[in-house]
Chains A and B, each alone.
Chain A
């Protein structure tokens, strides 16, 4: 499937729920969604459009926590990054690990480095930090 087709299908499926589309270049597109739509969009990109979750980036922008789920469509070379913003003071979002097994470690990492709670994650324990690392202290937060 070509890059334009993938984008068109995504826009057609979710129409008004697409908050913003930023086409940085033909192969780098950023599409913004509300956090509650993330699992459905992730499922669509993964199952229907056969995208691969390359990884996810979490950023503390000081105003909020921004999450970017980077989906790679290897047959066309395009990366569609699904962007969403969550509340910095109580950051939580539905986990996509039940949909995509490969998301397990990715979400655990964002959880311990940024403090995001992934609801219904099957195994949300520490991955990288040692056991005695203080609770509530998130290395990638800007305090």
Chain B
């Protein structure tokens, strides 16, 4: 059967520019995938060479809005690695607290989008509704819902007030029954099982070959997590465990993220307890960065963020290298999307939790000359329709 090309353009049906994801299909089956990035390339590494180390932290924060503190976290780890800086204990707990609150909001965001893609719009609304208290707490303790600017070389920029600790504790306690609800709604739902199990599978071998990270790797049974492998901040000081699943399908990736949120709450509460008793400085008051090189990383919600920095002793980096986790995870779609159907494409692409706006730019390319036009919205609709069909097949037509 000749391959057909269906261009999908969310922006213009007649455009010929390459899309982010170009799916080559034969009938309903995806036979090949081309990935084209560069829309978001802002030249941040180059800009970093003309900024001071303090300014670099504000710059890298904006690599990704959702993993906003993850990049500054890796950055301070890299610069402190370079300069052998010892960070005061209280600051370690504050850093960890912020990072885990971020994991909560990021995973809830993903849960909502995933729900939307498979037609569970109530999951979307609920996940994003319960994300709001996390953002409200961020605003309360850092001044902003996103882009919190908490990290500083040698410590943190703001302290956590004693009065705020109960509010943070109350908020995460309030999330526990919500997580229980999601767990029941998602992990026990036979339709979601039918929809997501066996879909978009990545084997252990795939993970190794591509160097995939984060929940994507952990869902295939590879227990890698920077917080345990190369411990930093308060992660070795509080009680928690790595979450893995074995099957490597979209369902496993969802389960990993849901269960990780419980662990994040454990870490947050552990940090809050310590912050009640550990006082002292929150900043090592670093004056200079000596010549040298450093590597810092952080387990962001999507996986390992990797930063490399080189200094010549001046107050600007000579070279600043950033590698976000999606860079390693997105190419795995060559394995997970290919061989699947068009209706499973959206949720499979979303399963590695790439940058949201990347998933907007999808083209389905069918090489026969019947130029069937499908928009990115159509792909989502196909995915939602598949769920409806499963619901009626299983005989449980819900409204």
Contact = CB atoms under 8 A, between A and B. Distances in A.
The answer to whether A and B assemble together is: yes
Contacts of A76: 229
Given A59-B319, A77-B230, A70 B306 contact: yes
A92 B398 CA distance: 60
Given A53-B211, A128-B41, 12 more contacts: A24-B81, A27-B230, A55-B306, A77-B229, A100-B209, A100-B211, A102-B209, A102-B210, A126-B38, A127-B38, A139-B46, A140-B46
A74 B224 contact: yes
B323 interface: yes
A66 B293 CA distance: 13
B310 interface: yes
Interface string A64-106: 0000101010111101010000000000000000001110111
B306 A102 contact: no
A24 B293 contact: yes
A55 B38 contact: no
B275 to A, nearest CB: 26
Contacts of A101: 209-211, 331
A128 B37 contact: yes
Interface in B301-337: 304, 306, 308, 310, 318-319, 321, 323, 327-328, 331
Given A59-B310, A68-B308, A139 B43 contact: yes
Contacts of B293: 24, 30
B38 A102 contact: no
Interface string A122-142: 000011111000000001100
Contacts of B295: 28, 70, 79, 81
B312 to A, nearest CB: 10
A72 B45 CA distance: 22
B198 interface: no
A54 interface: yes
Contacts of B212: 102
B211 A52 contact: yes
A40 B328 CA distance: 22
Nearest to A59: B319
B319 A129 contact: no
B231 interface: yes
Contact of B308 (A25, A57, A102): A57
A27 B328 CA distance: 22
B264 to A, nearest CB: 20
Interface string B45-57: 1100000000000
Interface in A3-49: 24-25, 27-28, 30
A29 B319 CA distance: 18
Nearest to B210: A102
Given A52-B211, A79-B295, A140-B45, A74 B229 contact: yes
Contacts of B230: 27, 72, 74, 77, 79
A130 B42 CA distance: 12
Nearest to A57: B321
A72 B209 CA distance: 14
30 contacts: A24-B292, A24-B294, A25-B81, A25-B84, A28-B294, A30-B293, A52-B208, A55-B328, A57-B321, A59-B310, A59-B318, A70-B306, A72-B230, A72-B304, A76-B229, A79-B230, A100-B211, A101-B209, A101-B210, A101-B331, A102-B328, A105-B327, A106-B323, A126-B38, A127-B37, A127-B38, A129-B38, A130-B38, A139-B43, A139-B46
B23 to A, nearest CB: 18
Contacts of B84: 25
Contacts of B209: 100-102
Interface in B143-198: none
A75 B229 contact: yes
A102 to B, nearest CB: 3
